[in-house]
Structure 1
Amino acid sequence: MPDTPTLSNKRYDDVLALPSGPLAEASLAAARAAVHPSVLNHCVRGFYWSRLFAAHEGVLNDADYDEELLFAANVMHDLGTGPDAPGLLRFEIESADLAAAVLTGAGAAAGDVDRVWEAIALHTTPQIPERLGLLTYLTYEGVWIDFGKNVDLVAEEQSRIHAAYPRLRMVHHLAEEVLAHGARSETAAPPYALAFHLAQERAADGVTTMERGVVGGPWGE
């Protein structure tokens, strides 16, 4: 299943199992419709990395651990790069708003919607997620493992995950989508936001630090 994830009822003993249920199904459908195939693979990998990080942290059985919400937060965290984003706010916030609408439409409780919104809105913000709820923390860590952080924690499983969901030059495509979203209005790329910095870097020498970081990085592109 290289580019089209499917849901499963299997438990975590299968590293490639995905949660099932109405929230997971709605989240995956929204992501498939909105983001570039390489970005979709990135979002699904983020869920796997988040779950493996949770296992490393010993929190899989914590009361606050919710696998369906973790999947929703990961798989929809880049919805703001898609066609339904208004282009008026940072892509992280518009991703969170779009995800909240999806979950609300699927019948999620208001508190769960708020948790997913927070996790997505803060997924590019360092030093804050670990001080908030478990969902926000795990989502942040999963996203950044896909950019080369803490890769030793997923070394045993990464080859199967990358084989199922290959990278397909994800960093380049994601940078392009974030830059395109940021160019839609001044408020979509305010000073100090990720899109603002990427635009400055691209204008300066044609490449962003996000793209440069994959050269010689642990995953490659």
Structure 2
Amino acid sequence: MIAIIDYGVGNLRSVYKAFETVAVPLGIPVDIVDRPTDLTRWRAIVLPGQGAFGDSVNNLRAQGLEQPLLDAVDAGLPLLGICVGMQLLFDESEEMGCHEGLHLIPGKVRRFPDQMPDPGSPGRTLRVPQIGWNQLHRRQENPLLAGVPDGAYAYFAHSYFCDATDPEAVLATTDYGIDYPSIVRYKNAWGIQPHPEKSHTVGLRILANFMRMVTG
């Protein structure tokens, strides 16, 4: 019932195993899809991602998976983008040039500024990329965040952040020098920037929430 798109990204197997962990108790099958097909045969789609935006979106297009994905979302299927998969949902990215995204969530993917002051260490600056645990600050109620407390910690590893044009699309933010959207939703597309498979209980809860939302 859940289709995870395989377009050659590095974290596919870890994301699949994380979904399996929550899918088995719920009795929900999870499939990997690596070729063009009618994605409306499933109940929902997951777009994982790891690495550079340009390479990722080029792989998706080269495998002929972009149009079936867009067609399914246009037909109303829920889509969850994870990590770079979330970034691909936006209009464009400035990572190593300018790359066109999937235009599913209004906004642009930008690089963290250099020389951001580290509030925990006066006189020092924050490192880019952000690697490690940081907090999720809830901005809206949404079933995706059911049971996830405000301020919960998740695991991040990224140099670029999503700058959402529509503030109503922002479900949670994270503070890393700037307050940026870390969980988003626009129409039937959701996105989470942290790695759920590395975020232990919080990450698995978000994945389970998504599966309950789309199958309940």
TM-score by length of 2: 0.30
Higher relative contact order, chain-length normalized (CA < 8 Å, sep 6+):
1
Higher helix share: 1
Give the number of the structure whose residues are more often strand, by fraction.
2
